[in-house]
Amino acid sequence: MKHQKSFFLIIILLFAGFTYAQEDEDYLEFNDRKNVVHGVYLGLNTHLGEIDGEPTYQGGLKIAYVANQQFEVGFSGTFFYSQQDLFNSDLARDEDLIGAYGGLHLEPIFFSKSLVNLSFPLLIGAGAVGYVGDNFDDEDYELTEDDVDAIFVLEPGVSVLFNVSRYLQLEAGVKYRFSNKIELDFSPVSRINGFSAGIGVKIGVFNMGRNRYKKKI
């Protein structure tokens, strides 16, 4: 009787070991809930705003790294055109304001696990601004130091993000541009401060937080 019990115990242990080996061979168990989720994207956006009460059009480009779907850091650049229609008596022409600036992009993200997120982007950068007329493409026209001035920009905003997929995100938001004082000849504009609102698209790999605890090999 004692030998029979020992024999059955050995059989049970061997069967359990074989079953465990089969499961260990076919599956890999892990838990990545506490891992940092990484992402990177290229973003394009367009905004409509104002400078000194006149309509202003903007186009932007962003390249950023996303940490754990909660914070972005990268580079952002903006080109703008403001329809000022300022008459330059020396050159007998109407002129509009154009410029570009770029720099550090920072963006904390809230409710990142939801379909719709809320974020607060901030751009800290520098660039240049100047006036351009109808004869800007004229071969005889030459830019001088009086036509262009340097600008330093701080641009905070608030955006709503729509997670379409792991690779595509849409955004809509408003922002306000603060700048230093500029000095351009015959210009009534002393700063390029102003609100703008617009939409954009982000294309990249965001990793929308998919967690798997058991994956078949």
Q: According to the model, what pLDDT value does residue 212 have?
A: 47
Q: According to the model, what pLDDT value does residue 141 have?
A: 54
156 class by beta-carbon count within 10 Å (0-12 exposed, 13-18 middle, 19+ buried): middle
Q: According to the model, what pLDDT value does residue 13 have?
A: 53
Q: According to the model, what pLDDT value does residue 103 have?
A: 97
Q: According to the model, what pLDDT value does residue 18 have?
A: 45
Domain boundaries defined on the chain: 34-211
90 class by beta-carbon count within 10 Å (0-12 exposed, 13-18 middle, 19+ buried): exposed
State pTM to two decimals: 0.74
List, as own/partner pairs, every contact residues 19-27 make where C-beta atoms lie below 8 angstroms and the sequence separation is at least 24, other chains included. Answer: 25/217, 26/216, 26/217, 27/214, 27/215, 27/216, 27/217
Q: What is the mean pLDDT for each group of 10 consecutive residues in the chain (217 residues)?
A: 51 51 46 68 96 93 92 96 73 78 96 91 96 61 70 97 92 97 83 95 78 48
Q: According to the model, what pLDDT value does residue 206 have?
A: 80
Q: According to the model, what pLDDT value does residue 88 have?
A: 60
Neighbouring CB atoms inside 10 A of 25's CB total 9
Does CATH number 3.40.605.10 belong to domain 34-211? no
